[in-house]
Amino acid sequence: MAGEYPTHLENIIRSLARLPGIGRRTAERLASALLDWERQELAELGTAIVELPDKIHPCKECGNLSDEDLCRICRDPRRDTTLLCVVEQARQIPVIEKCGHYHGLYHVLGGRLSPLEGIEASDLNIGSLYERLGKLTVTEVILSTSPDVEGEATAAYLAEELHGHFDLQVSRIAQGIPVGADLNYADAATMAMAINSRRRVP
């Protein structure tokens, strides 16, 4: 493989190929496309990548990705401060924001309980969650950890702790058949969840 591209281009190809879902061939195609970009466009993208760790950091309040001390959700006075949604990673917040059905606050745990990886409750941003719940006017905490073993364990742990320390409602995001999915291909665990969490049709 070596020697087909000038070293500088080869370096870009190898870097791009480290991105998820980008194989060697795609990286070559992307690097080739960059050759057609204007100098100014390349400078913008390249500089933005170099400066990424300095520009983006966790929001001091909730842990969301932010380019200021407080993220735009914590800065937004129109958010519903009675609702707080707990997520594992900051990158999950845009997924929830996009659905357009949640207008409350967030709290980023920075991971989930994982005995295998040695991640305990003290490794997660749980202390700051309690601090926030103590000073905010939250009446419901929505646990939005992943619907897998570790995410469920984390949600179960938090639910118990929250009920023990605060007088508020704790809820979990619904699990079931994805909207638009083909029932023929639903896995057994999801199907079971869909049956057990069935809603009465009024």
> Is position 41 an interface residue for its own copies (rule: CB under 8 A)?
yes
Among 23, 50, 131, 149, binds its own copies (CB under 8 A): 50
For the residues of 56-125, what is the DSSP string, one character each?
Answer: -EE-TTT--EESSSS-HHHH-TTSEEEEEEEESSGGGHHHHHHHS---EEEEE-SS--BTTTTB-GGGST
> Is position 116 an interface residue for its own copies (rule: CB under 8 A)?
no
Least distance (Å) from its own copies to the CB of residue 161? 28
Judged by CB under 8 A, the chain residues 21 through 40 that form the site for its own copies are 21-22, 26, 28-30, 32-35, 37, 39
Q: Tell me if residue 3 falls in helix, strand or coil.
A: coil
Give the integer Cα–Cα distance in Å for 156 and 90. Answer: 20
Give the integer Cα–Cα distance in Å for 97 and 104. Answer: 10
> Is position 117 an interface residue for its own copies (rule: CB under 8 A)?
no
Q: Which residues bind its own copies (CB under 8 A)?
A: 1, 3-9, 11-12, 15-16, 18-22, 26, 28-30, 32-35, 37, 39, 41-53, 55-56, 65-68, 71-72, 91, 93-94, 97-98
